């Protein structure tokens, strides 16, 4: 997108004020612009640059894992990153096929949980190799036995050791396996609306058995690993020209005014009581002291908030997005 200089902005405003250019001409120009819908309930927390960084980082992880498993199990094993996406935790859970196996683990020192999901068509050949087999997969996918689940924990340790190794140059971390599960619907690891990064890797054991591994990492974990370091690197290289462009963008962003209204509560009274209202009368609201207040953007209910003060002024703190069951004015 082209950014206008201040002289171009002044010329445009002057043309509008003198009638040399009509506002309809600008509207016609706007009709040719492609707009993208944005879902504020499912915000994109990862930029394209962040997703590319995750792809590169976990490409290294996939190579480490390929080399280790090939040497450790003495069989040709390939792991390759095929996609990095962002979605809600709810969408991730809905996308998981059954049967499957997930390992829930904690990343230290951040004490944030994460999930790694193994496709049975990756696990069964791996388990067969662990027991001295040729890496064969069963004809039909089935539930794992208790012994196979125990071996899966060992597989998870190996995979996560290589993940930690691939992160080492960016941030030193350790992992702790919390549990190995076969039914992800029984465990809500994150809030359903939590934004997560989903790294999908294809696997190949031997010459033909293909499967996949999914790594589900919440934004709260990746923020100190990917986001903050990237912001620090970016901030250290801001030039004077960049600062000028930033101020120009801030100027244009500051032009639109959006009215926010906070509703502390509502009360119903008769017309007679309304006509007799006077100073000192008390109205009982429909909201208790510990309940959130409603915050409207224009006429639309968007947020919930708690009242407080900031300095010597009344203020509210946003506590949540308005739910589906809430109603507008």
Q: What is the pLDDT of residue 207?
A: 77
The answer to whether the beta carbons of residues 162 and 65 sit under 8 Å apart is: yes
Q: What is the pLDDT of residue 233?
A: 47
Residues 86 and 196 in one domain: yes
Split into its structural domains, the chain has a count of: 3
Residues 131 and 186 in one domain: yes
> Over the stretch 35-94, which tens digit does the pLDDT of each residue have?
555 555 556 778 888 888 899 999 999 999 999 999 888 888 999 999 999 999 999 998
Could you list the beta-strand ranges (E) of 71-166: 77-88, 101-108, 112-118
Residue 266: CATH number of its domain: 2.30.330.10
Residues 119 and 214 in one domain: yes
Q: What is the pLDDT of residue 214?
A: 95
Q: Please give the mean pLDDT across all residues of the chain.
A: 80
Q: Is 243 helix (H, G, I), strand (E, B) or coil?
A: helix
Is the C-alpha dihedral spanning 66, 67, 73, 74 positive or negative?
Answer: positive
Q: Of 183, 215, 231, which closes a domain?
A: 231
Choose the weakest-confidence range: 63-67, 186-190, 277-281: 186-190
The answer to whether the beta carbons of residues 221 and 175 sit under 8 Å apart is: no
Q: Residue 77 — φ and ψ, nearest 5°?
A: -125, 130
> Over the stretch 243-263, which tens digit does the pLDDT of each residue have?
666 676 666 666 566 778 888
Could you list the beta-strand ranges (E) of 206-321: 209-218, 260-263, 293-297, 300-310, 313-321
Report if residue 83 sits inside a domain: yes
Res. 210: pLDDT tops 80: yes
The answer to whether the beta carbons of residues 66 and 77 sit under 8 Å apart is: yes
Nearest to 58 by CA among 94, 85, 97, 90: 85
Report if residue 137 sits inside a domain: yes
Query: Among residues of the chain, what percentage have pLDDT more than 70?
Result: 75
Q: In terms of residue numbers, what domain contains 23?
A: 1-35
Residues 31 and 70 in one domain: no
Residue 187: CATH number of its domain: 3.40.1550.10
Residues 145 and 207 in one domain: yes
Q: Is residue 53 within a helix (H) or strand (E), and if so which, with residue range? A: helix 48-73
Q: What is the pLDDT of residue 315?
A: 86
Q: What is the pLDDT of residue 22?
A: 59
Banded model confidence at residue 9, pLDDT cuts 50, 70, 90: low
Banded model confidence at residue 134, pLDDT cuts 50, 70, 90: confident
Does the predicted model carry a pTM greater than 0.75? no
């Amino acid at each position: 997108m082209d950014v206008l200089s201040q002289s171009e902005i002044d010329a445009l405003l002057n043309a509008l004020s003198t009638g040399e250019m009509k506002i309809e001409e600008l509207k016609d120009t706007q009709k040719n612009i492609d707009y993208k819908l944005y879902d504020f309930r499912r915000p994109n927390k990862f930029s394209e640059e962040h997703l590319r960084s995750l792809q590169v980082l976990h490409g290294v992880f996939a190579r480490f894992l390929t080399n280790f498993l090939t040497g450790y199990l003495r069989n040709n094993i390939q792991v390759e990153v095929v996609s990095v996406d962002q979605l809600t935790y709810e969408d991730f859970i809905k996308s998981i096929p059954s049967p499957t196996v997930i390992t829930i683990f904690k990343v230290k020192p951040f004490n944030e949980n994460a999930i790694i999901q193994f496709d049975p068509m990756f696990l069964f050949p791996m388990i067969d190799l662990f027991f001295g087999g040729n890496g064969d997969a069963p004809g039909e996918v089935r539930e794992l036995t208790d012994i196979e689940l125990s071996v899966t924990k060992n597989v998870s340790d190996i995979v996560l050791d290589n993940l930690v190794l691939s992160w080492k140059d960016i941030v030193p971390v350790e992992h702790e396996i919390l549990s190995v599960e076969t039914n992800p619907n029984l465990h809500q690891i994150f809030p359903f609306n939590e934004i997560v990064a989903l790294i999908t890797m294809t696997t190949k054991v031997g010459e033909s058995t293909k499967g996949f591994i999914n790594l589900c990492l919440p934004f709260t974990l990746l923020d100190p690993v990917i986001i903050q370091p990237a912001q620090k690197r970016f901030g250290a290289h801001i030039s004077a020209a960049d600062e000028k462009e930033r101020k120009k963008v801030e100027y244009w962003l500051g032009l639109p005014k959006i009215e926010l209204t906070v509703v502390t509560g509502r009360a119903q009274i008769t017309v007679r009581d309304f006509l007799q209202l006077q100073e000192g009368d008390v109205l009982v609201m429909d909201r208790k002291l510990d309940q959130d207040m409603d915050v409207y953007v224009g006429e639309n209910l968007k947020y919930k908030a708690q009242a407080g003060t900031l300095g010597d002024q009344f203020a509210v703190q946003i506590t949540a997005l308005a739910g589906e069951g809430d109603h507008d004015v």
